[in-house]
């Protein structure tokens, strides 16, 4: 496995980016059937366990590659190791259990396809940082690192704050949908997805490599179509939905 990656790593990364570019127009035409768009297209599993199943491999594989790699974690790589795992610790082990998803299900097929995505993503980012990356300590004061880190932190905060705002809409015990207001919901229907896009764009900037850029490209390719689907859904579902609200990027889209 390691030998294969050593020989073909950049070919795999370029193919992976190519797949994202090909998938993007299809994702704009096809609504991914999970969450509010869920459909019984295969065996179903409880939504919260679907999230754990599909996301957990990413930090596990990423950590395996970084910790078994030639680069020490007591270096710049350690900063990336902590940030990536903080995101995934929350996404896999906290957020799914905070969601108010009683009775909600996700198609196993979706969980498996996202699992494939996360295995690739964890491997590419982990192998790069564990084996190939070569950051000097001075990288920590480079403007690309600092701006990227700033975007990563701001994006994470936007993502998490709005995810929990959505969760709070069901504090009355309901499992239906309400029009969210407050924070960036004033401007867009999916500020949580907007935050995630900023976060991984920041990741690409602060790590400054093509393999880590592939994660940002995939995040744009996954989340722009999903946010547009959410936006259309809100407009159909609520007659009184604010007309001037954009889908995902304030004032733009
Ligand atoms: P949504 O905003 O659709 O849903 C998030 C949670 O809030 C769900 O539990 C949902 O319930 C609930 N919810 C959503 N809208 C409302 C509402 N109007 N009223 C009440 N409850 C509501 O998020 P996604 O499923 O699209 O994504 C979840 C997270 O995963 C996000 O943080 C996103 O950034 C991240 N993600 C990242 C990807 C990547 O490629 N990096 C890919 C996909 C997601 P229900 O499930 O019942 O609809």
CA of 190 to the centre of ligand 1 (A): 8
Rg (CA), the chain: 19
Cα–Cα–Cα angle for 164, 81, 64, rounded to 5 degrees: 110
Answer yes or no: are the C-beta atoms of 125 and 215 closer than 8 Å.
yes
The CA 38 to ligand 1 mean position distance, Å, reads 12
Q: What is the mean pLDDT of the chain?
A: 97
Segment 139-163, tens digit of pLDDT: 999 999 999 999 999 999 999 999 9
> Ligand 1 centroid to 147 CA: how many Å?
27
Where residue 3 falls among pLDDT bands split at 50, 70, 90?
Answer: confident
Q: How many angstroms separate the alpha carbon of residue 158 from the centre of ligand 1?
A: 13
The enclosing H or E element of 4 equals helix 2-29
Band the pLDDT of 129: cuts 50, 70, 90: very high
Going by the DSSP 8-state scheme, the letter that residue 46 receives in this structure is E
pLDDT digits (tens, 9 = 90+) for 42-77: 999 999 999 999 999 999 999 999 999 999 999 999
Q: Which of 166, 169, 216, 242 to mutate to test the pocket of ligand 1 (most atoms within 8 A of CB)?
A: 166
Q: Is the CB of 163 under 6 A from ligand 1?
A: yes
Residue with tokens 């905060």: 157
The finding on whether 114 has its CB within 6 A of some atom of ligand 1 is: no
Ligand 1 atom nearest 51 alpha carbon:
30
Distances (CA, A) of 79 to 14, 56, 184: 26, 20, 29
Residue 131's nearest CA partner among 68, 75, 80, 40 is 68
CA of 20 to the centre of ligand 1 (A): 21
| pTM score of the predicted model | 0.97
Q: Say whether pLDDT at 182 is over 90.
A: yes
Mutate to test the pocket of ligand 1, among 36, 47, 161 (most ligand atoms within 8 A of CB): 36
* DSSP 3-state of 82: helix
Residue 196 CB less than 6 A away from ligand 1: yes
* Measured distance CA(52)–CA(147) in Å, rounded: 31
Name the phi and psi angles at 248, rounded to 5.
Answer: -145, -35
């Amino acid at each position: 496995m390691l030998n294969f990656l050593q020989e073909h790593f950049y070919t795999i990364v370029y193919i992976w980016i190519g797949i994202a570019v090909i998938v993007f127009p299809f994702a704009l035409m096809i609504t991914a059937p999970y969450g509010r768009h869920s459909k019984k297209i295969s065996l179903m599993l409880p939504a919260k366990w679907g999230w754990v199943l599909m996301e957990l491999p990413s930090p596990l594989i990423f950590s395996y590659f970084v910790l078994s790699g030639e680069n020490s974690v007591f270096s710049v790589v350690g900063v990336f190791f902590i940030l990536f795992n903080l995101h995934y610790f929350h996404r896999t082990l906290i957020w799914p259990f905070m969601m108010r998803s009683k009775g909600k299900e996700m198609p196993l097929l979706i969980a498996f396809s996202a699992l494939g995505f996360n295995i690739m993503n964890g491997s590419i980012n982990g192998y790069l940082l564990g084996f190939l990356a070569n950051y000097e300590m001075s990288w920590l004061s480079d403007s690309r690192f600092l701006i990227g880190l700033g975007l990563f932190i701001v994006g994470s905060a936007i993502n998490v704050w709005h995810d929990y705002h959505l969760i709070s809409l069901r504090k009355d015990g309901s499992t239906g949908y309400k029009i969210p207001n407050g924070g960036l919901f004033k401007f867009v229907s999916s500020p949580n997805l907007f935050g995630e896009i900023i976060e991984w764009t920041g990741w690409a900037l602060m790590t400054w490599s093509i393999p880590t850029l592939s994660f940002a490209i995939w995040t744009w390719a996954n989340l722009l179509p999903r946010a547009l689907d959410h936006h259309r859904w809100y407009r159909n579902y609520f007659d009184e939905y604010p007309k001037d609200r954009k889908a995902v990027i304030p004032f733009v889209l």
